[in-house]
Each structure stands twice: as C-alpha cells, then as structure tokens.
C-alpha cells in the first residue's frame, strides 16, 4: 500500500510568535500602568514611608500586583504572553541547533532549560503577589533575575554571526539591562535604609526600564525568525482535504486575501503605521499653536514663546543627506520618541507641556518628510504614505466630532475634562514597538530605497511654497469638520448649517478629494485649479449656506492635490524646498493671527482684517505648486506603471477607509443628535429667566486646560437661561479650531448663536439661550484704531414675549475714541428697539463716567445695580422687565473674569417697567423659585462663590 503525502494545512511565520510575545508583554505592563494610575494613582505611588507628592510614579510591583482592576488586566495579558513565550523558547532551541547551527545540542538544551525555568519563575511572581505570599513572590523574582543573566548572554552567544543587526541590538539591550541594576539598587537602598523622599520614584523608573529592555531583548528574535516558520500538517489526506475545502478562507481568491490583508494594515497605519504617524501627527500639529497661544493671551502681547512655532523648520536639517538617511532608517524610533508630545499632558506646568509638544511635532514632521524624500523613487510607496497622511487628517476630524471638537490626546486635555491621553499614549507606544521591530527586520529595504532617490526637473521654490500653503490651508480650515461653518456663519434666521449633522459633509468632501487624487491629469490641471480658486472666492465673499458649499468644494480640491504636491516636494533640492515650505507655512500662520491680533503685534496695522490677502496668497502659492506638480505628473507615468500593484491596493483601500470614516461620522452625528437635550427654561412657573455674562479666555483655564466642562457645570448650577460669552471665537489655528460651545449647548439644552463669523476678525462673542431665537444680527462695532469690537443683537421668544438681548465686547482701555464710538452704536441699537431689553456686555469703564452714561442713558436702559461701584469691564442692563436679583460669582480659576448675572421676570405691561426702582429686599421676601442657588454661598463649589457682596442682591421690581 502506497503511503500518501501529508497535507500542509497552515504555515505560520515564526516572526509572528515574536510579534505577539512583544505585543502582549508590553500591553500587560503599560495597560496595567495606565489603568492603575487612573483608578488608584495616590494609592499605588504610596509606599511604607512616603506618598504623593514626594513619590509620584509607581513601582512595577505596586502597579501590577496591588490593586484591582490593574492586577487582573496584567495577569490576563501575561497569560496571553505565556503561549508565545514558551513557543519562542523552543523555537530558539530549534533555530540555533537545527537551522543556524550556531551551538551544540548540549548547549542548546541548557539554554532551553534556563528559558523554561525563567518563564515559570515569571509566572511565580506574577500570579503570587507579595500580598499573597511575600517569601514565595521574592524567591520567584530572584530566580527570574538569576536566570536572566545566562539567558541573555546565552542567546547573544548563540546568535548567528551573519546577522549583525540582531547582535548589535542584543549587545545594547544587555548592556542597558545590567548597567541599570547598580543605580536601581542604590536608590532602593536610599529609600529602604536612608528613607530619602522621592528615592523610590527614581528607583521605579529604573525598574520600569528593566521591563522595557527585557521585553525588547526577546523581541529581537523577530529579526532572525524572518525566514523561519512553523508548519501544520495533516496525515489524514481525505479529512484534511475536506476540512480545507469547507474552510471559508479556502474558498477566497488569493488576490482577495491580499486585499483584505492590506486593508487591515492600512487601517492600522492611519493611527500609527508601519513607519508613520497620521492621526498622532495631526493631533500634535494642531495642538502646537494652541499651546503657544496661552502665553501671549496672558502677556497681552508677544511673549517670546511664539518662537516655538519655528520647530516646524526642523525638517530643513534633512538637507544633510546622511542625517536624512539615518532618520529614515530609524524612523520608527524617531516616531516613538516623538510621542513625548502626546505624553506632555503629564506635566502640569504649561511651559513644560509646550516644550515637549514642540519636540514631539518637530520629530514627527521630520520623520514624515524624511520618508517622503527617501521614497521619491518608489512612486507607489510614496503615494501610499501620503494617502495615509490624508486619512489621518480625516480621522482627526471624526475624533474631534466625537469629542465635541476637542482632541482627546491634546496636552490641554486630561481625565477630568474628557481626555484619553493615557489611552492614546499606551496604544502609541505599543504600536511604536511593533514599528521598531519591523523596521529592524526590514532594514535592507530602507537602504535600497535610498539608492532609488532621484531628482526631477522643476522648481524647488515653487514646490516648497505650494506645499507650505497647502499645509496651512488644511490646518487652518479643515482640521475640524465645523470650521468652515463657523468662518461663514450669519445671523438668524439665515444662520447656516449646524456642525451636527453637516460636519459629515465636510468629512465627505475631504474624503472625496483623497479618492480622486490619483487622477493627476485632472487634479493638476489648470481647469481644476480654477475650480479650487473660484470655490475659495465664494467661500470668502458669501456667508451661510452659499459659503459653506464653496468651502466643501475647496476642501475637496485641497485633498485631491495633496499627493501630487507632496510628490513635487520630495523630488526637489531638500534645503530650498523644505525651507520655503515651512517658512511660508509659518508666515501664513502668523498672518492668520495678525489679521485679528493687529493691535498687539509689530506691523499689525498692515495685516488688519486682511484675510482676503491671505486666501489670495494661499491660492496663488498653491497654483505655483500645482504648476510644478503638473510637470512632475507627466514624468511619473512610467514609474506609476512599474508599481501599479501597490498603487492599486493603496487607492482601493483609501476609498474603503474614506467610506468607513464617512459612516463613522454619521454614527457619531446620530448619537449626538439623539442625546441632545431639548432647550427648556430652568424655571417656568414665574415666567422668570436668569441671564449672565462671562469672559472666558477662549475656553482655556488659568492652568492651560480645556475648560468647557467646568464652564458647563457652573452654568448648570447657576441655572442661566441666557448667557453671553466673550473672547469666545476659538475657530483659528491658535485656538485649535475648537467649537467648545457645542458640548454645552447639547448637554444642557441651549439654542446657540456663534456670533460674528471667524472671518470677521473679532475675538468673538457668543450667546446660549433656553428660548427660541427669532432673529439675530451680528455687528462689527466702529473700531478705527484698536481691535475690532463685536456684538450680537438677538430677539428671543421669552414665554411668548419678544425680548431683545445684546452680547457685546468693546475695545481696550487704550483706545478711548474707539470705545466712545462703539458705545454710541450700542446705545442706538437699544434705543431704537421697541422690545424689552437685556444688555450683557464688556464695556471697559468705571460706573458713572462718560461711557457709562452714554450706554445707559443714551440706550434708555437701566443699570441692574447703580450702587455697585466696583466694576470695570462687565455690565448688565435692562428695561421693560421686572428685575428680581443680581449676583456676582467668582471665576473659579477658569478665567480671570467673574460671572455677572441678573434674574428677571417677563411682565404683561413692559412699558410700566421701562424705568427702574432700586428698592432692595431681603432674600426671605423672594419666592424660593426666584432665588439664586444656595450652593454658592460661603466657599461655594469648585471655586465658584458669591463674591464682592458675598450674596445675591434682590429688588422689589
């Protein structure tokens, strides 16, 4: 009887054993660290002598063994690691004794025994914690450390001499491991014997570094296992054939499997890929100017920290060819180090956060550019990289939509205000380790790509200016799905699109641009450029829906030319190209700020309100880049044909992911709409409402954290039915393109009037109302010299009675004539209105002075409390309503300005209340439903309390 050949069921690359071991091991420790810090931070940094703030970083044992749920998570992941760990130990034995044959069978068995004992010992100290049995735990730990020395030295000795990369990394990691031991022991003695505060935290850092080195050492096996694989065979051919034929995978075409595999990898790389950041890059880029802005905001002028913007010039050093090749070869490591930008949230000091974020974006940008230049001879790989970069922008917009226009990994975010920095950082680090391993295992590919780098005819200056302008346009207008809406918003009823659900259209427009970007004859043509320029003109000239449509077409145009423009950037002289690109980007960013901050910057008078010049310059410079890219596209035809399979898969996957992100944004919008609270007054029984005014410093608190959640809580607890916010326009690069009011409006149930559009060059005024907005007008008040003052004049339906409100922000103290003209205009608006009126404004004057009388007497309204002499900026006025009370509430560290609030009642005969009386009454005579909340008496809540008078004031009428 003839023996039948066994059937090979599956081949598994041995390198995947190494990958899984590394992934599970790092995940076990890092996720446990994140969860432990989040759930029991103060407990796990506490030791037998000291606690926080002397000790502020936990040891490995405290993190992984002391508290639920971190302990459980750690043990689950270690269990997942055990399988790959045992497999790795046995594979190394077979590799060294049967394949590479670097050692004898006897030495191989010895090393195998050490590896098994070491693995079991690891299980001993993981699953038997010091709390369970301190002695057994310590014995297992000591045994593990003792076995580490022969294991690492034995593996190093048995490494194949032909693989110098693996040997180099093993030598480095072994040296680092054992060099770390003496200082770690020293600081442990300082803690245990000398009881030095903070010594245990330093010890913990050395202890954690041992973990990193230990896992990384075994991860190097992925380099040797590239051509080593496991084979699963079945000796029962009939059964094996039947099983194979019934397998769903067996019925899938091989090309389809390749497509699905690439789709999976492509999706992963959009967050943090094989050698690139995408989402993380855009997150760090958009946070840089936001962090810089905090400092001139408090200095009220140039602070010096603006120089951090120049970190974007770091890629210019890539003109040094050896440095560029080094960055490209170790781009995974560069991206890993760049995560200090994400980790900067751990520092409370704003200067530290800005400094670390600048380092992060500088390194990330350098790694991206190095990859593009060194891949310019590989058209398919370069386009794939740029498409991932573009998808990162779209993902950034989707994530911001889900977080109400904040990015959860920005350095202004933390757990208290909705941040997920720790989660983002953990995933970033874990993915970076995988990137590093694949970089080292494919090092020869990096070298070969350098040889194919070529230069093409064209203009380095045109390529650089075009790319810099494109980057600015994407950053300034399309890093949030609602930006183009807020740049063009108008008054009610022609308000324009709401961010939810119309942000979906913005994301779709960006995605469509990426999807059509491969059609270079179209995207680099003069006709398509004309469409882009015309859409930009429509976007600027018109407002509301028409401008929004123009902005959608412009977004499609910009993303459609991104691959071509990046291709042009990569093929020219690096120094001229990169310097012109990022210097033009920086100049445009500064100009983008100076059009509104002209009062506080040198030469600002020339930039005043010149967004039109900026947009014209952007489109002209992009035109130069497109002209250069058009010539490049004609020369690239042969190269694209040579890498057609890469291009085909990359483009197909891009379109799939574009559809995925559009679908995801639809789900996010649906979820937000379904959870939006319907507007309704806090108290309806007495036809009363509470109004307030607050200057909120662009939703950054005094310590540079995003403040909208704390603002929301204060507004909710004060039960403000109508509230005006000043310094509210955050739809610029320097404010992160945030529309912070969306979250408050949806979570508390308000109608929202954004105020004058961002392209109107004001610092912003915004109104939230529990009552329907019948109509509103946005005013730019006369400002011949100083910063442009803004105002909202809105008519609300308050219990069936039209009531007018003004929310306004006058100019600075230095420009007296401006304030006179602005107040005159406000008085005219109020005087000519036939309706009851409430004024909520920032006036910049002391009571009973000229501007004060011009406002109240000229506007025919009443000061809510003329006896309150301690006012300077914020004022509340009214007429045609019954005034119930007046309160001043401290800012609670959210800003440097208090909340002023008035309680009013709608009356049937408004004319009888046109003039006020000022008879005050005690709180006991006020109905409970008309009183201010009692929680703000005394020390108040969250830093908010009644101040100045230490209580509300109540009036008879």
| pLDDT of residue 133 exceeding 80 | no
pLDDT digits (tens, 9 = 90+) for 438-455: 666 555 444 444 444 455
Contact 207, 59 (CB under 8 A): yes
pLDDT confidence of residue 295: 93
Closest by CA to 918, choosing from 881, 883, 891, is 883
In total, the chain counts a number of residues equal to 957
Task: Read off the tokens for 595.
Answer: 């059009």
| pLDDT of residue 80 exceeding 90 | no
pLDDT confidence of residue 130: 66
Place of tokens 């000043």: 726
DSSP symbol at 697: G
- As a whole-number percent, the residues of the chain with pLDDT over 90 amount to 56
pLDDT digits (tens, 9 = 90+) for 326-343: 999 888 889 889 999 999
pLDDT digits (tens, 9 = 90+) for 786-825: 889 999 999 999 999 999 999 999 988 888 999 999 999 9
Question: Within a 10 A sphere around the Cβ of 533, how many other Cβ atoms?
Answer: 18
Contact 565, 460 (CB under 8 A): no
Burial class (CB in 10 A: 0-12, 13-18, 19+), 125: buried
Task: Quote the pTM value.
Answer: 0.74
pLDDT digits (tens, 9 = 90+) for 484-506: 999 999 999 999 999 999 999 99
pLDDT digits (tens, 9 = 90+) for 361-396: 999 999 999 999 998 888 888 999 999 999 999 999
User: For residue 529, what is the enclosing H or E element?
Assistant: helix 526-541
| pLDDT of residue 893 exceeding 90 | yes
Catalytic pick among 277, 475, 809, 891 = 809
217 Cβ contact list (under 8 Å, min separation 6) = 152, 155, 170, 173, 174, 177
Where is mean pLDDT largest: 156-170, 703-717, 905-919? 703-717
Average pLDDT over residues 225-242: 65
pLDDT confidence of residue 483: 97
58 Cβ contact list (under 8 Å, min separation 6) = 33, 36, 37, 41, 44, 45, 204
Average pLDDT of the chain, as a whole number: 87
Side by side, the strands of the sheet bearing 953-955 are 751-753, 765-769, 722-726, 688-695, 899-905, 882-889, 953-955, 920-921
pLDDT confidence of residue 407: 96
| pLDDT of residue 246 exceeding 80 | no
4: confidence class by pLDDT, cuts 50, 70, 90: low
Q: Is 444 a catalytic residue?
A: no
CA pair distance 93, 113, nearest whole angstrom: 10
264: confidence class by pLDDT, cuts 50, 70, 90: very low
Average pLDDT over residues 598-620: 90
Helices and strands: H and E segment counts in the chain: 33, 16
pLDDT digits (tens, 9 = 90+) for 176-233: 887 888 888 888 778 877 788 888 888 888 888 888 888 888 888 888 877 777 777 7
pLDDT confidence of residue 256: 45
DSSP symbol at 301: S
Secondary-structure percent of the chain, ordered helix, strand, coil, rounded to 5: 60, 10, 30
pLDDT confidence of residue 142: 75
pLDDT confidence of residue 247: 40
3-class SS of residue 292: helix
pLDDT confidence of residue 155: 85
Average pLDDT over residues 123-130: 79
pLDDT digits (tens, 9 = 90+) for 823-878: 999 999 999 999 999 999 999 999 999 999 999 999 999 999 999 999 999 999 99
């Amino acid at each position: 009887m003839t023996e039948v050949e066994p059937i090979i069921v599956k081949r598994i690359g041995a390198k995947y054993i190494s990958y899984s071991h590394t992934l599970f091991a790092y995940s076990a420790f890092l996720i446990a660290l994140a969860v432990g810090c989040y759930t029991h931070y103060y407990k796990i940094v506490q030791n037998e002598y000291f606690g926080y703030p002397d000790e502020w970083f936990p040891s490995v044992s405290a993190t992984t063994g002391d508290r639920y749920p971190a302990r459980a998570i750690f043990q689950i992941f270690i269990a997942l690691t055990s399988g790959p760990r045992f497999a790795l130990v046995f594979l190394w034995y077979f590799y060294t004794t049967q394949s590479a044959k670097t050692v004898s069978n006897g030495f191989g068995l010895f090393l195998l025994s050490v590896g098994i004992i070491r693995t079991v010992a690891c299980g001993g100290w993981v699953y038997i914690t010091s709390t369970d049995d301190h002695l057994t735990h310590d014995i297992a730990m000591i045994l593990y450390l003792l076995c580490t020395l022969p294991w690492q030295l034995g593996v190093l000795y048995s490494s194949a001499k032909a693989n110098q990369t693996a040997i180099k990394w093993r030598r480095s990691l072994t040296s680092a491991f054992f060099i770390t031991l003496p200082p770690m022991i020293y600081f442990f003695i300082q803690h245990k014997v000398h009881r030095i505060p903070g010594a245990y935290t330093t010890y913990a850092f050395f202890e954690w570094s041992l973990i990193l080195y230990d896992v990384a050492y075994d991860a190097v096996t992925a380099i040797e296992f590239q051509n080593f694989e496991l084979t699963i065979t079945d000796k029962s051919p009939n059964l094996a054939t039947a099983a194979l034929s019934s397998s769903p995978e067996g019925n899938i075409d091989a090309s389809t499997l390749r497509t699905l595999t690439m789709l999976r990898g492509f999706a992963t790389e959009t967050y943090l890929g094989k050698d690139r950041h995408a989402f993380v890059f855009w997150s760090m880029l958009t946070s840089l100017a936001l962090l810089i802005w905090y400092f001139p905001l408090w200095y009220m002028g140039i602070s010096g920290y603006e120089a951090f913007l120049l970190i974007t010039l770091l890629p210019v050093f890539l003109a040094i060819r050896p440095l560029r090749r080094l960055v490209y070869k170790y781009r995974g490591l560069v991206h890993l180090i760049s995560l200090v930008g994400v980790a900067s949230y751990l520092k409370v000091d704003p200067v530290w956060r800005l400094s670390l974020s600048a380092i992060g974006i500088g390194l990330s940008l350098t790694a991206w550019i190095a990859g593009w230049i060194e891949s310019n001879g590989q058209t398919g790989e370069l386009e794939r990289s740029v498409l991932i970069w573009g998808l990162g922008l779209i993902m950034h917009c989707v994530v911001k939509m889900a977080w109400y226009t904040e990015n959860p990994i920005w350095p202004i975010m933390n757990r208290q205000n909705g941040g997920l920095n720790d989660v983002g950082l953990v995933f970033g680090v874990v993915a970076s380790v995988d990137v590093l391993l694949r970089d080292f295992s494919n090092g020869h590919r990096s070298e070969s790509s350098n040889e194919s780098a070529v230069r093409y005819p064209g203009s380095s200056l045109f390529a650089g200016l075009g790319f810099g302008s494109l980057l600015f346009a994407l950053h300034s207008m399309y890093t949030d799905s609602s930006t183009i809406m807020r740049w063009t918003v108008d008054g009610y009823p022609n308000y324009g699109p709401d961010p939810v659900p119309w942000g979906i259209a913005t994301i779709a427009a960006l995605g469509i641009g990426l999807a059509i970007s491969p059609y270079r004859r179209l995207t680099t043509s003069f006709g398509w450029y004309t469409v882009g320029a015309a859409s930009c003109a429509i976007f600027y000239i018109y407002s509301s829906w028409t401008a929004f449509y123009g902005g959608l077409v412009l977004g499609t145009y910009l993303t459609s030319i991104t691959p071509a423009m990046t291709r042009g950037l990569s093929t020219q002289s690096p120094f001229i190209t990169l310097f012109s690109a990022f210097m033009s980007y920086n100049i445009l960013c500064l100009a983008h700020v100076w059009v509104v901050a002209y009062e506080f910057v040198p030469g600002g008078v020339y930039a005043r309100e010149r967004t039109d010049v900026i947009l014209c310059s952007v489109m002209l410079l992009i035109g130069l880049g497109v002209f250069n890219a058009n010539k490049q596209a004609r020369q690239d035809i042969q190269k694209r044909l040579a890498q057609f399979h890469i291009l085909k898969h990359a483009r197909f996957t891009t379109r799939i992911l574009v559809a995925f992100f559009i679908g995801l944004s639809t789900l996010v919008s649906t979820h937000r709409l379904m959870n939006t609270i319907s507007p309704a007054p806090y108290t309806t029984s007495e036809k009363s409402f509470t109004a307030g005014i607050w200057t909120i410093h662009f939703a950054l608190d005094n310590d540079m954290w995003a403040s909208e959640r704390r603002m929301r809580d204060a507004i909710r607890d004060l039960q403000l039915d109508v509230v005006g916010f000043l310094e509210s326009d955050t739809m610029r690069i320097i404010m992160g393109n945030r529309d912070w009011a969306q979250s408050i409006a949806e979570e508390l149930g308000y109608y929202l009037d954004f105020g004058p559009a961002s392209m109107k060059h004001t610092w912003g005024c915004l109104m939230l109302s529990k009552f329907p907005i019948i109509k509103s007008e946005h005013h730019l008040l006369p400002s011949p010299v100083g910063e442009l003052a803004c105002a909202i004049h809105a008519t609300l339906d308050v219990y069936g009675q039209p009531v007018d409100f003004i929310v306004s922000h006058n100019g600075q103290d230095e420009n007296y004539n401006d304030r006179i003209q602005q107040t005159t205009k406000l008085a005219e608006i109020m005087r000519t209105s036939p309706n009851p009126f409430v004024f909520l404004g920032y006036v910049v004057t002391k009571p009973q002075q000229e501007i004060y009388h011009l406002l109240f007497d000229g506007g025919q309204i009443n000061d809510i409390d003329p006896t309150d002499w301690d006012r300077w900026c914020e004022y509340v006025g009214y007429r045609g309503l019954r005034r119930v009370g007046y309160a001043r509430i401290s800012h609670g560290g959210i800003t440097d300005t208090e909340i002023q609030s008035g309680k009013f009642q709608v009356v049937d005969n408004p004319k009888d209340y046109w003039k006020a009386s000022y008879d005050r009454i005690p709180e006991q005579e006020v109905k409970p439903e008309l009183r201010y909340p009692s929680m703000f008496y005394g020390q108040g809540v969250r830093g908010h309390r009644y101040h100045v008078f230490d209580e509300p004031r109540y009036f008879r009428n």
